[in-house]
Amino acid sequence: MDTLQNMRVFTRVVEAGSFTGAAQHLNTTTAYASRAVSDLEAHLRTRLLNRTTRRIALTEAGERYLQRCEQILAYVDQAEAEASDAHAKPSGKLKVHAMTSFGQHYVVPAIGRYQQRYPEVQVELTLAQRMPDLLDEGYDVALVLAQDLPDSGLVSQRLGSAFSVACASPAYLERNGVPQTPSDLSRHTCLQMVMPVFPKNEWTFDGPNGQETLALGAATFQVNVAEALAVAVREGMGIGLIPIYSAISGLRSGQLMWVLPEYTSQEMNIYALYPSRQYLDAKIRTWVEFLRDELPSTLATDQAELRKFART
């Protein structure tokens, strides 16, 4: 027995004053309306309506039950409206996970612009150098950088790509000279960023001669966050492969110099991951669409600006 539906029929019978009137309103038959109320009474083992051939009347128990039915059905209608509205109108809390440096440079500014458009969305952003478990940890969207994604039940949208460039401080280059080819780096102090997607103690460059791989010696310094690597390079500790989004401010200020300007390294795709396409919450849908529209142009602007800092 569908108790909730029978409660709806019962309240409609009372409002209409007859089974026939209720049936017409519900677009069903009088027999169905009568049976629904009878099933409800049998379930409760209580008479709710006194019936005659001409009219119906609530019993005392029926009056009390009607009040509760109206309250319950109002709550159900409200819950359904809120859930349906979530599909249509962006609002509520949006939980986002992003890689640390990428999130600082691209995601935080994007959130500001997104909330100007959708002010009823509250964003909770977590930055960490790992791939989260969206379902177990309750994230709505994860923004990850990877060469390829492992098979999973998640939906992915590719938003663009980013790469790293070899950088050093002016003071370091003055002391140690400027490398002209990737193989020259074997004579320099190379600082490393630890990333699970790339082999340790190995740098691969894409340049005019295709792909070149350099085996590195033991690292004098390694770290897992690009911002920290950029600080070490600015301090003259050595040469490091820094993602473009973490290198660009140092290049602008002159604290960093781009060495090997014909080469890039460690290119990674940027993906938005979320649990499902079906009945997608409006805040998730609009956030992913917003990133898909805005992020490629932001990446292109940074990559175009990077060319200004090539050493001649």
Fold of domain 92-161+269-303:
D-Maltodextrin-Binding Protein; domain 2 (3.40.190)
C-alpha 220, offset from chain centre: 36
Closest by CA to 274, choosing from 113, 96, 50, 104, is 96
For the whole model, what pTM was predicted? 0.70
pLDDT of residue 59: 87
What is d(CA 64, CA 71) in angstroms, rounded to the nearest whole number? 11
SS3 186: helix
- Mean pLDDT lowest among 129-138, 152-161, 245-254: 129-138
What is d(CA 206, CA 222) in angstroms, rounded to the nearest whole number? 22
Q: Which two tokens stand for residue 87?
A: 């599909």
Instruction: Report pLDDT digits (tens) over 219-228.
Output: 789 898 899 9
Residue 70 has pLDDT above 70, yes or no: yes
What is d(CA 255, CA 173) in angstroms, rounded to the nearest whole number? 12
pLDDT of residue 88: 61
Instruction: Report pLDDT digits (tens) over 244-298.
Output: 999 999 999 999 999 999 999 989 999 999 887 565 788 998 999 999 999 999 9
Domain 163-265 has CATH 3.40.50.360: no
Rg of the chain in Å (alpha carbons): 32
The Cα-based distances of 307 to 169, 311, 312 in angstroms read 17, 9, 11
C-alpha 102, offset from chain centre: 14
Please state the rounded mean pLDDT for residues 76-96.
73
pLDDT of residue 312: 42
pLDDT of residue 61: 85
C-alpha 303, offset from chain centre: 24
Beta-strand runs (E) in the chain: 49-51, 56-58, 92-98, 121-127, 141-146, 155-168, 190-193, 202-207, 210-215, 222-223, 239-243, 257-258, 264-274
Number of neighbours of residue 58 by Cβ within 10 angstroms = 16
pLDDT of residue 83: 63
Instruction: Report pLDDT digits (tens) over 160-218.
Output: 999 999 999 999 999 999 999 999 998 999 998 887 667 778 888 998 888 888 888 77
Please state the rounded mean pLDDT for residues 98-114.
93
The answer to whether the CB of 96 falls within 8 A of the CB of 140 is yes
2-6-10 Cα angle (round to 5): 170
What is d(CA 70, CA 78) in angstroms, rounded to the nearest whole number? 12
Closest by CA to 229, choosing from 217, 215, 244, 216, is 244
Question: CATH 1.10.10.10: which residues of the chain?
Answer: 3-86
What is the number of alpha carbons within 13 Å of residue 140 lying toward its C-beta? 19
Question: CATH 3.40.190.10: which residues of the chain?
Answer: 92-161+269-303
Question: CATH 3.40.190.290: which residues of the chain?
Answer: 163-265
Residue bearing tokens 């051939």:
53
Task: List all residues 6 or more positions away from 171 whose beta carbon is below 8 Å from its beta carbon.
Answer: 236
Q: Are strands 121-127 and 190-193 parallel, antiparallel or unpaired?
A: unpaired
User: To the nearest whole percent, how much of the chain has pLDDT over 70?
Assistant: 94
Q: Identify the CATH number of the domain defined by range 3-86.
A: 1.10.10.10
What is d(CA 141, CA 152) in angstroms, rounded to the nearest whole number? 14
Instruction: Report pLDDT digits (tens) over 235-256.
Output: 999 999 999 999 999 999 999 9
What is d(CA 7, CA 172) in angstroms, rounded to the nearest whole number? 79
